[in-house]
Chain A
Amino acid sequence: MARYTPPEQSKAGQVFDIAVVVVAIFVALWLPLKLGLAGAAKSIDALDAKTWEALGQNPTMASIWEKLGYTPETAHDIIQNRFHYIIDWPTLIIMAAVLIGYFIFLFRASDREYRDVINEKFGDK
């Protein structure tokens, strides 16, 4: 197989490619953080009675909270801030499809590139 000679990249081209990578990083990862779309999906199950008992804390737990500087009022939002694990099946299926699609693309496209590498390295040996 003929040896592939890649084009030499100009300095401007290198700077452009670096910019593309930086933009991709910030758009895909930094922007969701900035827009508040990332992080834990939790919500507070508010209680009317803010006592250690109502918050499900036994005397040992209550004494530790107090040692840490909390009262039932200040601990309420920590204790009652909970995950609500409801499986949204359509979203889960879409996410699974995206992940599987990503890996299938990765392995198939990599294999095409890998054949170039092996053909050039080993030829007909």
Chain B
Amino acid sequence: MTITAEPAVQVQGDRVSLLRVLGPAHVWALGVGIVLVGEFTGWNFAADKGGALAALIVCWIVGLLYTSVAMIDSEVTSTVAAAGGQYAQAKHIVGPLMAFNVALFLVFAYTMLEVSDAILLGDTIVAKAGVEGLNHNSFIAATIVVLAWLNYRGVLMTLNVNFVITAIAYVSIVILFFSVSPWTQGAVLKLNELVTPGNALPYGWIGVIAAFQFGIWYYLGIEGTTQAAEEVRSPARSLPYGTMAGMITLLIAAAMTWYVCASLMPWEYLGITYYPLWDAGKLTGSALLENLLFIATLLAALASANGCINDAARAWFSLGRDRYLPTWFSAVHPKYRTPYRSILFLLPIALAFAFIADLNQAITFSILSGVLQYTFMSINIIMFRKKWPLGSIRRGYTHPFHPLPAIVLFCLCVVTFFAIFLGFGSQLIAMVAFYFLISLWFHFYRYKFVRRGAQFTMPWPKPQGY
């Protein structure tokens, strides 16, 4: 699909489009690459909010939430295969204002995830160096700037790099798991002595609900696979396949990570450490595992930040292309064919937040945007099936048990909002206030610049009810 006519993106009379160069492995790498860092940091804050057992319970239940996300997203994305992913879906199914908000959800979920990755990387290097007075800011800046440059240069190179480093980081979790003799307790792993009936749920069941907030971090970003829809050779096949394969990969990694970490450190420490897997490597007493997990933590953070820049820039690019934001953002680089102005615009925003936010604050901003987006998705699929019932248009994939996944997803989103309220309420208010204000700005001012009919580009019949 070529981009719609905008003078800013034309080169010598020809339209400049994003290149269709990606295969299923790249889709997997984009999804898992963004998310895998969640095993290396962030998920463990669920233990802080509810105890070690709560972190395991939410790993499973939130896995159910994301299975619903993957099922719903696979159907809609395989039918609306356009850059911007959920943004393009909202534009065709709900309307421009919702699309504008969804794009912002995506941009902030990914930008704040990128910020979290950069903080993790900087702090891990500083901790490893052990030099008094060494500050993480220079490492954070270098990470964000170098990865932005990689993304500026081209999506294929970016995602090829991601594929390799994601695979290495994933293999390190598998190596750690099998190195600690997971089938025996007492030698290395001491789960029975660390997670006891007295401390498994230190806050009771309210702690389990509160832990939902960071349980999201096990998988947040897997839906990012759809951002590359316009650059995938066969979207109807590759996107559902890549997303589902990614979910299975992550469920296995999450279960292994929890088991090893909860069996190696007390929940109070697990709940506050920035690098639980690296700490697990240290606690095994093996220098090899310690160094492997140190490198894997850095690689996972790099892969995630890399994918986040890719996804956030494409969502921002789509907003410019559709005139929801100034068209200046819709330029494609004449040589590298990347949304370079969007990449450059988001760079200082990421840097500003990386220098001031703590890891759990940045993660919470990202989670909040993610949960707002999942809430939209649960309603979106109901509207999609209502406006175009099965058989009325060609779908690449039809998810089973509708509307059960949508209902499950919606209910789990409500629980997660409540979980964020428990302990991080002021951040929730700030984030929703931001989206509310910017929505008013769009609806009452910016919408006048939007071409109405051009928002609907799919070759579908008129939706039912209109």
Chain A residues in contact with chain B, CB under 8 A?
A: 3-4, 6-7, 9, 13-15, 17-18, 20-22, 24-26, 28-30, 32-34, 37-42, 56-58, 60-61, 64-65, 67-68, 75, 78-79, 81, 83, 85, 87, 91-92, 95, 98-99, 102-103, 105-107, 109-122, 125
In the complex the two chains form, what is the Cα distance from A16 to B75 in whole Å?
39
Secondary structure type dominating chain B contacts: helix
With contact pairs A106-B98, A114-B96 given, residues A122 and B462 touching in the complex (Cβ less than 8 Å):
yes
B326 lies within 8 A of A18 (CB):
yes
With contact pairs A33-B356, A111-B95 given, residues A117 and B436 touching in the complex (Cβ less than 8 Å):
no
B443 lies within 8 A of A58 (CB):
no
B427 lies within 8 A of A118 (CB):
no
Chain B minimum-CB-distance residue to A115:
B466
In the complex the two chains form, what is the Cα distance from A8 to B206 in whole Å?
54
In the complex the two chains form, what is the Cα distance from A57 to B142 in whole Å?
41
In the complex the two chains form, what is the Cα distance from A73 to B349 in whole Å?
39
30 contacts between A and B (CB under 8 A): A4-B453, A6-B449, A17-B446, A21-B438, A24-B441, A26-B352, A28-B431, A29-B353, A34-B356, A38-B357, A38-B427, A39-B358, A39-B427, A40-B48, A40-B423, A41-B424, A64-B269, A75-B268, A78-B268, A78-B269, A85-B422, A102-B436, A102-B439, A103-B375, A106-B98, A107-B379, A110-B98, A114-B95, A115-B466, A122-B466
In the complex the two chains form, what is the Cα distance from A113 to B90 in whole Å?
12
Chain B residues in contact with chain A, CB under 8 A?
A: 48-49, 90, 94-99, 101, 108, 190, 193-194, 196, 198-199, 203, 206-207, 210, 264-266, 268-269, 272, 279, 282-283, 323, 325-328, 345, 349, 352-353, 356-358, 360-361, 364-365, 375, 379, 417-418, 421-439, 441, 443, 446-453, 455-456, 462-463, 466
B430 lies within 8 A of A32 (CB):
yes
Chain B minimum-CB-distance residue to A98:
B432
A105 lies within 8 A of B436 (CB):
yes
Chain A minimum-CB-distance residue to B463:
A118
Chain A minimum-CB-distance residue to B420:
A95
A65 lies within 8 A of B432 (CB):
no
In the complex the two chains form, what is the Cα distance from A37 to B282 in whole Å?
35
In the complex the two chains form, what is the Cα distance from A99 to B206 in whole Å?
21
A28 lies within 8 A of B361 (CB):
no
Q: Return A43 CB to nearest CB of chain B, in Å.
A: 11
In the complex the two chains form, what is the Cα distance from A109 to B447 in whole Å?
11
A64 lies within 8 A of B95 (CB):
no
Q: Return A71 CB to nearest CB of chain B, in Å.
A: 13
Chain B minimum-CB-distance residue to A124:
B462
Q: Which of chain A's residues have a CB closer than 8 A to the CB of B466?
A: 114-115, 118, 122
B433 lies within 8 A of A28 (CB):
yes
In the complex the two chains form, what is the Cα distance from A125 to B461 in whole Å?
9
Q: Which of chain B's residues have a CB closer than 8 A to the CB of A91?
A: 425
A64 lies within 8 A of B266 (CB):
yes
Q: Return A87 CB to nearest CB of chain B, in Å.
A: 8
A40 lies within 8 A of B207 (CB):
no
A25 lies within 8 A of B434 (CB):
yes
B430 lies within 8 A of A29 (CB):
yes
State the 3 A-B residue pairs at the shortest beta-carbon distance, nearest first.
A110-B95, A28-B434, A114-B95
A106 lies within 8 A of B279 (CB):
no
A32 lies within 8 A of B435 (CB):
no
Q: Which of chain B's residues have a CB closer than 8 A to the CB of A103?
A: 375
A39 lies within 8 A of B361 (CB):
yes
Chain B minimum-CB-distance residue to A37:
B426
Chain B minimum-CB-distance residue to A83:
B423
In the complex the two chains form, what is the Cα distance from A95 to B421 in whole Å?
8
Most buried by A among B90, B206, B427: B427
Most buried by A among B49, B379, B443: B443
Partner of A99 from B417, B426, B437 at Cβ < 8 Å: B417
Q: Which of chain A's residues have a CB closer than 8 A to the CB of B430?
A: 28-29, 32, 37-38
